[in-house]
Structure 1
Amino acid sequence: MIHTLFQIFVFQVLFLAVYDLFLKKETFFNLNRLYLLIAPILGFILPFVSLGFIQQRIPQEYIIQLPAVVIGGGVSEMVSSGNNWWIPNFTALWIFGMVLSALLLCVKFYKIIKLKFTANTQKFPKFKLVTLPKTDIAFSFFNSIFLGENISEENKASIIAHEKIHIEQKHSLDLLFFEMLRIVFWFNPMIYLFQNRIATLHEYIADAKVTIQKDKKQYYQSLLSEVFQTEKISFINTFFNQSLIKKRIIMLQKSKSTKTAQFKYLLLLPIICGMLVYTACSNDPKAEEQKNVSQSDSEVMNKINELAEAIMKKGEMTPEEEKALKLLTTEAQPGDKVYTSVQEYLNETEDTLRINKNQDYLIAEIEKVPTYPGCSGDNETLKKCFTKRISAFIGENFNTKLGKDLGLTGRQRIVVQFKIDKSGSIADVKAKAPKPELEAEAIRIVQKLPQMQPGEQDGKKVSVIYSLPIVFEVK
């Protein structure tokens, strides 16, 4: 999650940087408005877009993390070392922030409603004029224009003409859209910056429209003649914002941008393409790790199970078949040779492991899988229950402090192979890990598993082999 939020933030920073550096000073106001509305949404969407044809053209070693191969239809689980406590806390904090932001929005609405009740309202064909007593406030919200009675009469005409543009162009909807984003993503500073940019752009649009009909010098005078108050409400179009007046006058003095300047918008194409390549190559390591060790019903696992079932139906495996099966069921480690084919592996390695000589079964769809004490139901239910119980057992009994004692950091992976024999006992426990101490600890825990009810095939009790990946993180 953190990785995805970081990607969203970076993408939105890039989009805003393009606007500030290349587009902000152009007079293509409507295009800029569209850009500012679409850019933050693209920033949210692109991290979740992963185009397959891009992935296919990128060397696989950069985009695929080898998962632990699970033989057992779903007995792997990431063992928590107590470092995931922040996940529910972060969710609770997120929700709390959303509730608080929604309440603040309600307070803003209340302020506007309160102003309406203390003012005199006049209805016109396309807008309502709300005159506020004893103030010089000037702003609009949807089809209402709020004017303080202290504003001079000669300025009121310019202000009303300006605010009517906001109403006609429905600028309040833009600002309200960003208010909704601020509720959901209250912690993302880029939403506030995008809202600020579009509020400024709204003023440029209205100024440009008004000065087509009015004398620019007279309009400048209305901007500079008095110091006006402003309401600190983020979704209203405020006419006299002192920090914006200088920018508005500078923009009014600018010549119209040439049509060739529109080519600047083409900068978006390489940026978006670069983002798509990045998302195709980049995955959240932690999320991928959890996905790899927990999603046992993947297509790869189905193929492995089908292969195992085909081998079992033969009754016996040849030495070559045993070697090939070991290649499929052995977890790759950094530095291991990568074989381009099974035949290459068979030609170069001698295998000493025999996993089917005594009619041991892999966890393909046998008639009845081994049963953990207390589990019941059909095969799928039994497998899910087995996964849950054994994961909980490992999590409760594994000495996660061992990683620190050994001076290890980061994720540690252990693959344990064990057999539930014809009597339901745990047998032939083996482990592979970065350190012998981790292997010994994993073997110790697995050997403590309770007596199981053995699996059955063709009405006979059979042995079943499991491969159990254990993943935990040492801080």
Structure 2
Amino acid sequence: MITYILECLVFQLVFLLAYDLFLKKETFFQWNRVYLLVTFVLSLVLPWVKIEVFKTVMPQEFAEIPVLMYQLDGVVLGVESATRFWEVLPWYYWIMGLGSVVAAGWLVHKLFQIIKLKRDGVVEHHPDFTKIMVKESVLAFSFFRNIFLGGNIEKEKEVRIIAHELVHIKQWHSLDLLFFELARIAFWFNPLVYVYQNRMAELHEFIADAKAVKQHKKEHFQMLLSEAFQTQNISFVNQFFNQSLIKKRIVMLQKKKSKAIWQLKYVVLLPLVLGMLVYTSCEVGKEDNNEEVNSSIPLTAVKKIPFGVVDEAPIFPGCEDAEDKRACFVENLQKHISKHFNYPKEAQEKGIQGRVAVIFIIDANGKIVDIRKRGPHELLENEAVRIIEKLPQVQPGKQNGNAVNVAFSVPITFQLENGPEVGVDAEAQKIAQRIADSPTFINIDEAPIFPGCEDAADKRVCFVENVEKHVRKHFNYPKEAQELGVEGKVYVIFKIDANGAIADIRTRGPHELLEAEAERIIKRLPVMQPGKQKGEAVDVPFSIPITFKLQ
């Protein structure tokens, strides 16, 4: 939101500078009016516009367990997902909202001022306008079809004033000013909105003067200079006697009509808009490097491709001729961890145990880089990093035939019961072995197709994205679990069977309440097109960790 506001401010500043430098002194008043309206709207719209020639959509990488079945980062859901919006609204939203309420109240106050003037004045209805005579005053302004005139204005001047104000009425100038008045409610903190409104009010007077004062310009000047300049403090009415505009209006009335060739100045708008489009389109999605204690580990680099979906997985030394190189990679990684494991003596003495989640990157040269870890103690974390650092250089993974960075995640469990137990979770090892013997989501010939993904360029990625959206949409933190303070991660494994239905849902979590909610969400998944192996529909396993987190 803050970025959007800043971009709007910058775009408006650029548009206004272009107006003041190139267009303001020209007599193309109607063109300038259109310019101000269009550029203001563009400044609000352009930050949302992206021109993407190549758009690569990646899932949020993968979860910890199982190594070969993690399709996306664990979906982290908290009580705030089910709470009222005002309970989680950032403080600056409250300030913006309060300012908008005050600005709206001020607008209502000014409208009541106009209503009061009309109610207390003498009303005369004419075919093209309604004249309101305000007693003991020299007011002169219009608002939509209403022309307000002070009773102390001389009669011979009324004709010129009415002719002037009729131009405002016929060209609906009040709509322009009211538009910016509403914009001031939403963007009360933006000074450029007030500048836009001021520039528009100037233009309205120039337009009305140009239309109404074809002859007798000298008398018109004298009338402007002779008045007492009494005005109402209402920003969205067209005031005839506006002291700050009198000099500008006289100067503009004396100015010769601009040559048509200078209309080419409006072409400056095209490179401005093009440059803004290039800027907004070249923005890279922001990376969220904040790590939550209970969340699955996210990857910081959006250009890393998950091990589970890369076209050609990295090849571990010795797996070059293996039939399933992914399974061979996992198997050799497990052997490497077991071989190089050394339970820190200090950790044993202190009784420290638990799981260390490790994420690393196999870069485009096949080297292990960017190792990150999270565990119960730095002694275990350091040992996990030491083991991963000793991994040999591998053949890099490939996407579309090019070597790319591939992200890999593995949990290493340190357990003191019955002697140290090391390596990837036993359950993960069993699942990995089953994966090596049967089709899985990542290595099946044709992955299941989520409804709506039929025409997607990458149906696996589309499937993952839609599963995550489904989980977030249907999530409801169990009230009893909230009251009991129950939170944690629920691992869910299910199958998309040969008919495309969801079957064999299994859950493992810290409490049955969370497990039941996770199962309820997965059961609501729609029927989809089944996966195929060698042209035949088959059962395809899929897993996702869902983290329940209390505030």
Q: How does 1:62-461 map to 2 (within 5 A)?
A: 67-70=60-63, 71-72=70-71, 75-77=74-76, 87-212=89-214, 214-283=215-284, 285=286, 304=309, 318-322=323-327, 337=365, 340-341=398-399, 357-359=432-434, 449=510
The 2-side partners of 1:464 and 1:39 are apart by 49
User: Could you tell me which amino acid in structure 2 is paired with residue 171 of structure 1?
Assistant: H
1:189 deviates by 2.2
User: What is the CA deviation profile of residues 68-99 of structure 1, one whole-angstrom value per residue up to 9, with x for unaligned ones?
Assistant: 3452556233999xxx9984333333333332
Question: 1:5 & 1:256 partners in 2: Cα distance?
Answer: 38
Deviation of the 1:358 alpha carbon: 2.6
Q: Percent identity?
A: 37
- CA distance in 1 between counterparts of 2:58 and 2:170 reads 54
Residue 102 of structure 2 aligns to a residue in which SS? Answer: helix
- Closer, same or farther: CA 465–255 of 1 in aligned 2, 3 Å: same
1:145–1:163 Cα contact (<8 Å) kept = yes
Which of the pair is proportionally richer in helix?
1
Paired letter, 2:75: S
Q: Could you say if the C-alpha distance between residues 389 and 108 of structure 1 is closer, same or farther in structure 2, counting changes exceeding 3 Å?
A: closer
Report the Cα distance in structure 2 between the residues aligned to 1:232 and 1:193, rounded to whole angstroms.
16
Q: CA deviation at 1:335?
A: 7.2
Unaligned runs of 5+ in 1: 295-299, 309-316, 367-378, 399-415, 427-447, 456-461, 471-475
Contact 1:74 1:384 in 2 (8 A): no
Helix, strand or coil at the partner of 1:256: coil
CA contact (8 A) 2:46 2:280 kept: yes
The residue matched to 1:25 in structure 2 has which SS?
A: coil
2:90 partner SS = helix
Displacement of 1:334 in angstroms is 11
TM-score, normalization: structure 1? 0.65
Q: How far 1:67 moved relative to its partner?
A: 4.7
- Cα RMSD of the aligned pairs, angstroms, is 5.1
**Equivalent position of 1:52 in the other structure:** 52
Sort the Cα spacing of 1:162 and 1:284 in 2 relative to 1 into closer, same or farther, 3 A: farther
Structure 1 residues 76 and 107 mapped into 2: Cα distance closer, same or farther (>3 Å)? same
How far is 1:51 from its partner?
1.7
Report the 3-state secondary structure (helix = DSSP H, G, I; strand = E; otherwise coil) of the residue aligned with 1:129: strand
Distance 1:76 1:106 in 2: 46
Shift in alpha-carbon separation, 1:270–1:122, aligned structure 2, 3 A? same
Shift of 1:331: 6.3
1:444 corresponds to: none
Question: 1-side partners of 2:28 and 2:169: how far apart?
Answer: 20
Q: Is the 8 A contact 1:67 1:289 kept in 2?
A: no
1:114 offset after TM fit, Å? Answer: 0.5
Q: 1:99 to 1:17 in 2, by over 3 A?
A: same
Q: What's the offset of the Cα at 1:134? A: 0.9
Distance 1:323 1:143, change over 3 A: farther
- 2:261 is paired with a residue whose SS is helix
Q: Return closer, same or farther for 1:78/1:250 CA change in 2, 3 Å cut-off.
A: farther
Give the corresponding residue for 1:23: 23
Cα distance in 2 for partners of 1:179, 1:276 equals 27
Higher relative contact order (CA 8 A, sep 6+): 1
- Count of residue pairs the alignment pairs up: 383
CA distance in 2, matches of 1:5, 1:323: 51
Q: Which amino acid aligns with 1:11?
A: F
The Cα of 1:340 is off from its aligned counterpart by: 4.6
Task: For residues 352-408 of structure 1, give each alpha carbon's deviation from its aligned partner in whole angstroms, at most 9, with x where no partner exists.
Answer: 999654325978899xxxxxxxxxxxx999966998879x99x9999xxxxxxxxxx
Q: Which amino acid aligns with 2:268?
A: L
Distance 2:132 2:507 in 1: 83
**8 Å Cα contact 1:142/1:167 also seen in 2:** yes
Q: Is the contact made by 1:419 and 1:463 (CA closer than 8 Å) also made in structure 2? A: no
Cα distance, 1:205 vs. partner?
Answer: 0.3
Inter-partner Cα distance in structure 1 for 2:362 and 2:18: 41
Contact map agreement 1:121 1:129 (CA 8 A) in 2: yes
- 2 CA distance for matches of 1:7 and 1:124? 47
Please report how far the alpha carbon of residue 419 of structure 1 lies from its aligned counterpart in structure 2 after TM superposition.
10
SS at match of 1:358: helix
Q: CA deviation at 1:307?
A: 11
Q: Distance in 1 between matches of 2:329 and 2:216?
A: 85
* Residue type of the alignment partner of 2:26: E
- Asked if 1 retains the 8 angstrom alpha-carbon contact of 2:77 and 2:472, the reply is no
Q: Deviations for 1:142-187, whole angstroms, at most 9, x for unmatched residues?
A: 1111111122233222211111111111111111111222222222
